[in-house]
Amino acid sequence: MNRRMTLGLLASRYGFDLDPTSAAEVTITSIADDVESVRPGALFVPSADVDVHQLSQAQEQGAYGAIVPHALRGQTDDIQIPLIYAEPTMGQLGKLVSDMAGNPSDALAVFAITGKNREIVESEVRNLADFLHMLGNPVGVISSSDSQSLERFLNLEYPLSAIDVQRTMAVCAEDGAAAVILALDEETLREDALQSVSVDVLACDDNGLSDAEVAKLVAKFGCAVGKQTRIAGRTQESDLLAAQAATAYGQTDSRSLSLSIAMVLAAGVRKANIKSALRVSRDLN
């Protein structure tokens, strides 16, 4: 997390109850959703039911505060760190985590791929990463099979939470990535892990699904498909470009390349630039 926030600002922004109110100027430097990941300066935001024992552990590990349900009022007399009483929605938590991470999805072109077959989704993610790299874009990848920030492998524990996703995207942005590619599958992401992540281009490996069906498929990850999100799929144009490239390489399967081309076109890359990159890549090979 690369931004800091006072407990007073957090409580007032989201309408939460801070106790004691005199702790308004306490500044948190990170967020942790389990006791093991609490570091000095962290705000402990339990991802499951929390009890006084867990709060005591978080306090011992250096937490500067914790968000707890109102039901714990009167049971925390032995806890010395400030407490914020609230039942935050997943949307509020996603916004808080995104703010703390510096809203990294706003600085990146975010591509996301989903589908019913995990292996195909993972393969499409790798193919798109290779294609964007060929176009000259430094890329980050978030996938349970291989997460990377540019050429650096990221050792992550899956499935990722909203905190993990925002932190990883912030790392990619700081490393200089221009884009990040997300594998939308249950092995990679927990439910609601993409709250407050702005997805620019969303693609589904399964042909024939309507935009509404694709939106429903990814809703469990908190991925809101809005007006700014372009839903991409293979088209006659992308199939033709991919077939021409595959013929030049002596390959027979152009399907994966077609989806990558369709996503890049949806992101606003000009067809002439794509054809030029394919031609240069062919000549180099």
Instruction: Please give the pLDDT value at position 247.
Output: 66
Question: Is there a single domain that holds both residue 165 and residue 264?
Answer: yes
The answer to whether residue 82 is domain-embedded is yes
Instruction: Please give the pLDDT value at position 251.
Output: 55
Show the domain range for 232: 104-284
pLDDT tens-digit readout, 124-164: 999 999 999 988 999 999 999 999 999 999 999 999 999 99
Instruction: Please give the pLDDT value at position 212.
Output: 83
Question: Is there a single domain that holds both residue 83 and residue 189?
Answer: no
The answer to whether residue 214 is domain-embedded is yes
Question: Is there a single domain that holds both residue 9 and residue 80?
Answer: yes
Reported pTM: 0.89
Instruction: Please give the pLDDT value at position 207.
Output: 67
Q: Identify the CA nearest to 175 among candidates 154, 145, 159, 146.
A: 154
Instruction: Please give the pLDDT value at position 213.
Output: 83
Question: Is there a single domain that holds both residue 74 and residue 143?
Answer: no
Instruction: Please give the pLDDT value at position 45.
Output: 94
Question: Is there a single domain that holds both residue 119 and residue 240?
Answer: yes
Residues whose CB is less than 8 angstroms from the CB of residue 76 and which lie 6 or more positions away in sequence, other chains included: 52, 55, 68, 83
Distance CA 111, CA 95 (A): 20
In sequence order, the β-bridge partners of residue 133 are none
What's the number of domains the chain is made of?
A: 2
The answer to whether residue 194 is domain-embedded is yes
Give the CATH number for residue 265.
3.40.1190.10
Question: Is there a single domain that holds both residue 168 and residue 236?
Answer: yes
The answer to whether residue 70 is domain-embedded is yes
Question: Is there a single domain that holds both residue 80 and residue 109?
Answer: no
The answer to whether residue 35 is domain-embedded is yes
Q: Are 181 and 150 in contact (CB under 8 A)?
A: no
Token output for 233:
């799929």
Question: Is there a single domain that holds both residue 33 and residue 156?
Answer: no
SS3 of residue 197 by DSSP: coil
One DSSP character per residue, 48-97 reads S---HHHHHHHHHTT-SEEEE-GGGTTS-TT--S-EEE----HHHHHHHH
Question: Is there a single domain that holds both residue 182 and residue 137?
Answer: yes
The answer to whether residue 154 is domain-embedded is yes
Among the three residues 60, 88, 116, which one is the final residue of a domain in this structure?
Answer: 88
Among the three residues 88, 118, 139, which one is the final residue of a domain in this structure?
Answer: 88
Give the CATH number for residue 37.
3.40.1390.10
Mean pLDDT (the chain, rounded) = 90
Question: Is there a single domain that holds both residue 12 and residue 37?
Answer: yes
Question: Is there a single domain that holds both residue 143 and residue 233?
Answer: yes
Instruction: Please give the pLDDT value at position 250.
Output: 53
CB under 8 A, 24+ apart: contacts of 123-127:
123/256, 124/203, 124/205, 124/256, 124/259, 124/260, 125/181, 125/182, 125/183, 127/256, 127/257, 127/259, 127/260
Question: Is there a single domain that holds both residue 152 and residue 280?
Answer: yes
Distance CA 38, CA 45 (A): 10
Largest CA distance in the chain: 72
The answer to whether residue 264 is domain-embedded is yes
Among the three residues 88, 117, 133, which one is the final residue of a domain in this structure?
Answer: 88
The answer to whether residue 93 is domain-embedded is no
Segments of the chain with pLDDT less than 70:
1-2, 207, 247-253, 280-285
Instruction: Please give the pLDDT value at position 61.
Output: 96
